[in-house]
């Protein structure tokens, strides 16, 4: 008992230490995880806000209630009309498909664009053509912003180059062996000033119903990309060139600059014009048919 | 001192209780959060495995190190060659862009496809044409699986219809007013048996390097969708019809059926052929140019 009595103060001290430790400990995990989450969220949103927003637009919403797998499903209430069709002979089909392949196979991404003016009517026609693309539930979720105003083109260039420079400088940490002069040519986008037209393709991630509720645009990114494919075909058919670019991280700034509404997000930016007289292209090859097609 | 002595056993008991409580407490939050996470992950993956996997493929990986915003950036080490260009007069450009618009504007999604055979060479040419699309860093991340074997087409139909039926039945809970017979026509996809060809377009979410490491395919979904747009243009040009469908949730099953590798994910399924003699289409209109284009 005497021994215990002597130990009592020691026990009290231990008790205090244990309780203190417990209090610290019980707060620690929460605090740590919260701050970690915050750090994660913050670094994510700072690093690539546009991409993270896209995630939600396309996929979270897409797969909920109305999984329209055929893209015309919810038009079933529209009256049906006979489909009139242009049918060719087998020989004609073969010839047409061969000619179209030859034409499209001459398409290349060209970054050296001539400042020569291009008739506005041709641009109107290629945008009209892009608008014939199919879209999920026929929502036609695209806006083509055609910029020919020199000051606006320059503003776009400043925004794109600023983001590009950040991207390239961040890479330099890892790839320090690279030549600075060589990198520099990569974030300078002269064609944004020079090309007679910049076509900025926005996807409408949702629509607004008359009762001002949001209307989900299913598969909007796929639809708009398909439309872009038809636009590229139309440009090539008209003898114009472009380079397909996806200006990462510039989306929100360019949207504000061009005064587009909040439901629109920049997907693709195409400078459009004739090629410069001395335009060059990388000497790349395309995969042969057997590498891209499997027949069963 | 005597009082303290008396209290000693009490203090020992309190100390034991506190230590015990602390041990329990320190494990509790971990367990809870883990089980919550697990539940979340499980319900997610059960509900829409394909979509969730896609999420990761496209977006998480995309935005990391190499943000190639121009799609040809990492070809800078290839030698450049002069670009040879077919230039038309302004009149010709206008005429060509108008004709191409007229041709593409006749394209419609057709679900009533004739069983008549279509020359295989025409299909080869339209797939070749699709393969001319631009792609992020020229990865050409597409595989076109062309199915003409009747038994395989039927297997595909069974998988797609089974998933469709689930989708539609799930919807019925909410939309009980709808006519069952009417709904039924929506999950029956006769064209999957009837069309002479089914073209299943897979996106390659990553590539395999010679050292068997994964190679990120940037923007693979956008690239493959653009390629699909060019394919739709080529089909229309050849006088063939299709309907653009995105078979949600069937991706993994169809991938296994067609023996495609794990890096490939089904994006789009196109039944291809001539239209049936009595084919009908919903009487829909397209937005006028002013609704899809803004000029600045």
Q: Decide if A290 is inside a domain.
A: no
Long-range contacts of the stretch B32-36 (C-beta < 8 A, 24+): B33/A33
Please name the residue of chain A whose CA is at the shortest distance from the CA of residue B170: A65
Q: Is A7 on the interface with B (CB under 8 A)?
A: yes
Q: Stretch B160-187: mean pLDDT, rounded? A: 64
* Distance of residue A115 Cα from the nearest chain B Cα, in angstroms: 15
Helix, strand or coil, per DSSP, at residue A85: coil
Q: A128-132, A164-168, A267-271, B124-128: which has the minimum mean pLDDT?
A: A164-168
Q: Is B225 on the interface with A (CB under 8 A)?
A: yes
Q: Stretch A12-18: mean pLDDT, rounded? A: 61
Q: Decide if A216 is inside a domain.
A: yes
Q: Is the pLDDT of residue B155 over 50?
A: yes
User: What confidence category does residue A231 fall into, taking pLDDT thresholds of 50, 70 and 90?
Assistant: very high
For residue B51, give the nearest of A59, A90, A243 by CB distance.
A59
Residues of B in contact with A295 (CB under 8 A): 146-148
Tens digits of residue pLDDT in B57-115: 333 333 333 444 566 545 556 889 999 998 999 999 999 999 999 999 999 999 999 99
CB contact under 8 A, B219 and A246: yes
Per-residue pLDDT, A208: 87
Per-residue pLDDT, A216: 83
For residue B283, give the nearest of A81, A182, A292 by CB distance.
A81
The CATH number of whichever domain residue A179 belongs to comes to 3.40.109.10
Per-residue pLDDT, B164: 80
What distance in Å separates the CA atoms of residue A258 and residue A200, rounded to the nearest whole number?
10
Tokens for A227?
């439309």
Q: Stretch B180-208: mean pLDDT, rounded? A: 83
Q: Decide if A189 is inside a domain.
A: yes
CB contact under 8 A, B101 and A125: yes
Q: Is the pLDDT of residue A72 over 90?
A: no
Residues of A in contact with B106 (CB under 8 A): 86
Tens digits of residue pLDDT in B240-271: 999 999 887 899 999 999 999 999 999 999 99
Helix, strand or coil, per DSSP, at residue A76: coil
Q: Decide if A258 is inside a domain.
A: yes
Tell me how far CA of residue A221 lies from CA of A73, A128, B251, in angstroms.
18, 19, 18
Size of interface A-B (CB pairs under 8 A): 428
What distance in Å separates the CA atoms of residue A219 and residue B268, rounded to the nearest whole number?
11
Q: Is A66 on the interface with B (CB under 8 A)?
A: yes
Q: Decide if A271 is inside a domain.
A: yes
Tell me how far CA of residue A11 lies from CA of A4, A18, B12, in angstroms.
9, 10, 7
Q: Is A169 on the interface with B (CB under 8 A)?
A: no
CB contact under 8 A, A85 and B146: no
Q: Is the pLDDT of residue A75 over 70?
A: no
Closest CA to B110 of B30, B6, B4, B190: B190
Residues of B in contact with A154 (CB under 8 A): none
Q: Is the pLDDT of residue B176 over 70?
A: no
Q: Decide if A287 is inside a domain.
A: no
Range of the domain at B270: 92-280
Per-residue pLDDT, B109: 94
ipTM greater than cut 0.85: no
User: What confidence category does residue A58 fall into, taking pLDDT thresholds of 50, 70 and 90?
Assistant: very low
Q: A6-15, A33-42, B146-155: which has the minimum mean pLDDT?
A: A33-42
Best of B69, B89, B203 to mutate (most A CBs within 10 Å, chain A): B69
Q: Is B215 on the interface with A (CB under 8 A)?
A: no
CA angle B179, B182, B184 (to 5 degrees): 110
Q: Is the pLDDT of residue A47 over 80?
A: no
Q: Decide if B292 is inside a domain.
A: no
Per-residue pLDDT, A218: 84
Q: Decide if A37 is inside a domain.
A: no
What's the number of domains chain A is made of?
1
């Amino acid at each position: 008992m005497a021994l215990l009595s002597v130990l009592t103060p020691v026990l009290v001290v231990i008790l205090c230490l244990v309780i203190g430790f417990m209090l610290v400990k019980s707060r620690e995990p929460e605090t740590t995880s919260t701050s970690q989450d915050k750090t994660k969220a913050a670094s994510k949103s700072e690093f690539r806000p546009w991409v993270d927003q896209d995630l939600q637009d396309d996929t979270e919403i897409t797969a909920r209630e109305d999984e329209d797998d055929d893209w015309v499903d919810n038009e079933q209430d529209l009256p049906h009309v006979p489909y009139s069709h242009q049918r060719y002979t087998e020989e004609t089909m073969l010839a047409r498909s061969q000619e179209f392949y030859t034409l499209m196979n001459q398409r290349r991404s060209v970054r050296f664009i001539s400042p020569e003016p291009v008739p506005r009517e041709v641009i109107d026609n290629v945008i009209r053509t892009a608008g014939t693309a199919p879209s999920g539930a026929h929502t036609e979720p695209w806006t083509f912003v055609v910029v020919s105003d020199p000051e606006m083109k320059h503003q776009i260039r400043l925004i794109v180059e600023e983001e590009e420079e950040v991207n390239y400088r961040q890479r330099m940490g890892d790839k320090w062996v690279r030549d600075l002069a060589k990198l520099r040519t990569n974030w300078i986008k002269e064609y944004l000033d020079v090309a007679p037209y910049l076509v900025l393709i926005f996807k409408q991630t949702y629509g607004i119903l008359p009762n001002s509720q949001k209307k989900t645009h299913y598969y909007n990114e796929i639809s708009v990309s398909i439309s872009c494919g038809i636009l590229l075909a139309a440009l090539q058919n008209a003898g114009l060139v472009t380079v397909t670019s996806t200006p990462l991280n510039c989306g929100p700034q360019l949207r504000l600059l061009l005064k587009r509404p909040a439901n629109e997000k920049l997907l693709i930016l195409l400078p459009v014009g004739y090629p410069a007289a001395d335009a060059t292209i990388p000497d790349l090859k395309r995969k042969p048919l057997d590498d891209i097609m499997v027949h069963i």
